[in-house]
Chain A
């Protein structure tokens, strides 16, 4: 079994495009929540989201045809990640050993919504070709495979809010089993009316601020963006003398098997996934220095996640920094756990962990150290990155120093 390492990162978040800008924003605790501008929310009870504004496309990508297949965020993040690790040149290696795995919740639904909204009669009279041009979801990976010459294994993971980590764990298996040398992995999402309404109608949206683990938390805010990692087999990375951010040491999957939308009250599935990840990583609770929480800011999630952390980490639960960057960039759905995987690698590289912002009041039901409001310098050897989803669909990753 090959060991799997991370050698390249790409990020587009509401804090900025590029790893540099986003990371600085995370450490400075910048809140990106504001009133939704992408569509009219006057018929909704809540009006805030974390939109990416003034996105500067520095990749030269952007004709209309391309935009129908794949959003600029993921394109830009993939390009940054490949460029940053020196794998952009498609002729240098056997690209049949390079694959791609991406997570998303709603795929490229935005152009579909835009066109259908312009002419709603299409729903009853028949779509036109433009409307459906973004489907099926594997159009995304196939397009990126074509542009970046990635012709090995591929998949799109549609596992709601844990899609990104699912995609990464699938790619991990592909490399560790020897089916690929390099995998471009991560997640991508754009804010869309369908999911905004979905979260709104299940009463998951916060009125204005997202405040994970706070006693007065009132829900999540949806966000958007892309997080991309380049995974390689350790041998391949060493051979080409790559700069290694971290090792992907453990993967833990589980399913609550409990409810279509609510998490298990004691976080049973979350406990199993965290334990499973530590088992595959061959690490104990003493080895974990940071938890990148799922931390959506909904009353139910944060409570059950805190309980799960206590079950797994016991007396150490209150001592490990455990923050949620969703407090700053919102919940970017299928991209969220991938973005948080990038954050995990950056925390290991820089020995600093991002804060949970908007934190004011301790909740006795969330007895964890959420790194309130200010980033913290701390030695980070290993990070657990939690992601949970509707249906109790859990995927937990452990990244660690080499």
Chain B
């Protein structure tokens, strides 16, 4: 018998605020975390915008000790872990419980700049000149190691790198692990932090807004003027907990996690139709996994990141899938209009948003939306007044290389 899984804690370090409360209020108010990039010099390049985290003080969450040896991503992740545990009133001295608590984090390009810096220094200065502390926090998964060591999540620690779906896959995996009785609780989500090195990966592929032309540099999902995404950063974590365990502890529950579906499409060779089919498949697998009915899904947190092709694929996939449902089509929002595309952490950011929508009944708006695209005509939440009283929320997380993952959340009882 599979165990039920609920969300009892949330940790957020985001350009829209620190902590789930700030993040949610700003999101609902239709604020934007997107501004001209300050962290590195973009004067040579066409794309100037990013959703950066500025002035973040991790001391409040993880203390001062050893901070100077840690990268931003590690500070984000460990701080968000602390927040998620505190938010769920997780008994931090319960050793037995921590033996049954795991950590699964999605990261597509964690510590990328640190890795290239390290290589640069090896060649420029030679191995002997590198400080031993430089070896401490350079791998993609070293942030996760830091969090697992700091918080002694002894059941397991795992890093999943599946591109832009990494953190949705991390949450899906955590959900499965608890279902199967392999852990009582799992801190799951994603982490990424920005750097010029990382920016270049997407800029050189013409994926960022205006990098390949366009009338306006903006994150405008589903808008006809869209021309690429705007990068974001942060760490978004959810404490997933076995239902009975949470009940026993008597803690408040944000929502239940009920379904996960994932597929892989080879996007460089697939036809558009086949890509749409693969995206549909992820959504319907998640619904099937939950034993739910498509007609009961009334709200979707879209992947939509302002990419010309991927937004269209998602819109068509949603249309196709729900066209057979006679009830009203789902309301769709796209929080990347506010928080940017935080790639490996994006699915977790959306999951936090969707969990709050289920809890409060409010749906944050797709901001800056102006021009409808006939190729993406969905029922978009554009003015911040949209409400949701349905039982389910779906999260779509898609990757330009072809990974498609969907999660299904259910309102808490």
Contacts and interface: CB of A to CB of B under 8 A. Distances in A.
Contacts of B163: 136, 138, 142
B126 A100 contact: no
Interface stretch (B14-22, B218-226, B297-305, B395-403): B395-403
Interface residues of A, number: 69
A85 interface: no
A253 B107 CA distance: 20
Contacts of A142: 163, 264, 266-267, 401-403
A92 interface: no
A105 interface: yes
Contacts of A151: 263-266, 278
A139 interface: yes
A321 B344 CA distance: 42
A117 B123 contact: yes
B215 interface: no
B151 interface: yes
Contacts of B204: 127-129, 132
B154 A105 contact: no
Nearest to B145: A391
Contact of A253 (B144, B182, B197, B278): B182
Most chain B C-beta atoms within 10 Å of own C-beta, residue among A142, A256, A272: A142
A257 B136 CA distance: 16
A128 B204 CA distance: 7
Interface in B189-241: 196-197, 200-201, 204-205
B256 interface: no
A146 B401 CA distance: 10
Contact of A138 (B103, B139, B162): B162
A382 to B, nearest CB: 21
A265 interface: no
A194 B160 contact: no
B410 to A, nearest CB: 19
A128 B201 CA distance: 9
A96 B261 CA distance: 12
A255 B132 contact: no
Contacts of A200: 127
Contacts of A135: 109, 112, 201
Given A99-B264, A156-B160, A173-B180, A198 B403 contact: no
A201 B132 contact: yes
Contacts of B127: 43-44, 197, 200-201
B130 interface: yes
A210 B176 CA distance: 39
Contact of A132 (B123, B155, B200, B263): B200
A136 B137 CA distance: 19
B153 interface: yes
A138 B265 CA distance: 12
Contacts of A113: 119
B130 A201 contact: yes
A197 B112 CA distance: 17
A301 to B, nearest CB: 16
A132 B159 CA distance: 21
Given A105-B139, A170-B173, A253-B158, A145 B108 contact: no
Nearest to B115: A194
A5 B134 CA distance: 42
B269 interface: yes
A327 to B, nearest CB: 25
A274 B45 CA distance: 52
Contacts of B285: 179
B122 A197 contact: yes
Interface residues of B, number: 81
Interface stretch (A157-165, A236-244, A340-348, A349-357): A157-165
Interface in B242-276: 262-269
Contacts of A395: 156
Nearest to B144: A391
Interface in B115-160: 115-120, 122-124, 126-128, 130, 132, 134-142, 144-146, 148-149, 151-160
A193 interface: yes
Contacts of A269: 154
B140 A137 contact: yes
Contacts of B136: 260-261
Contacts of B399: 138
B272 to A, nearest CB: 16
B364 interface: no
B161 interface: yes
A132 B200 CA distance: 8
B281 interface: yes
Contacts of A117: 123
B266 A145 contact: yes
B281 A96 contact: yes
B369 interface: no
Given A127-B204, A137-B108, A391 B135 contact: no
A312 interface: no
B147 to A, nearest CB: 9
A255 B155 contact: yes
Contacts of B403: 138, 142, 154
B156 A254 contact: yes
Contact of A155 (B103, B115, B161): B161
B154 A120 contact: no
A253 B155 contact: yes
A313 B298 CA distance: 54
B166 to A, nearest CB: 8
A138 B200 contact: no
Most chain B C-beta atoms within 10 Å of own C-beta, residue among A43, A100, A146: A146
Contacts of B148: 255, 257, 391-393
B270 to A, nearest CB: 8
B99 interface: yes
Contacts of A294: none
Contact of A255 (B112, B154, B200): B154
Contacts of A152: 263-264
A108 to B, nearest CB: 12
B76 interface: no
A179 B161 CA distance: 19
B98 interface: yes
A122 to B, nearest CB: 9
Most chain A C-beta atoms within 10 Å of own C-beta, residue among B98, B127, B152, B263: B127
Given A43-B126, A193-B122, A201-B127, A158 B264 contact: no
A166 to B, nearest CB: 6
B142 A156 contact: no
A267 to B, nearest CB: 13
Contacts of A170: 158, 160, 173
25 contacts: A44-B127, A117-B123, A120-B124, A127-B201, A129-B205, A136-B109, A138-B161, A138-B401, A145-B402, A151-B278, A153-B264, A158-B107, A159-B158, A173-B176, A173-B177, A177-B176, A193-B122, A194-B115, A194-B118, A201-B134, A201-B135, A255-B102, A257-B151, A391-B144, A391-B148
Interface of A: 43-44, 96, 99-100, 105-107, 109, 112-113, 116-117, 120, 123, 126-129, 132, 135-139, 141-142, 145-146, 150-160, 166, 170, 173, 177, 179, 193-194, 197-198, 200-202, 253-261, 269, 272, 390-395
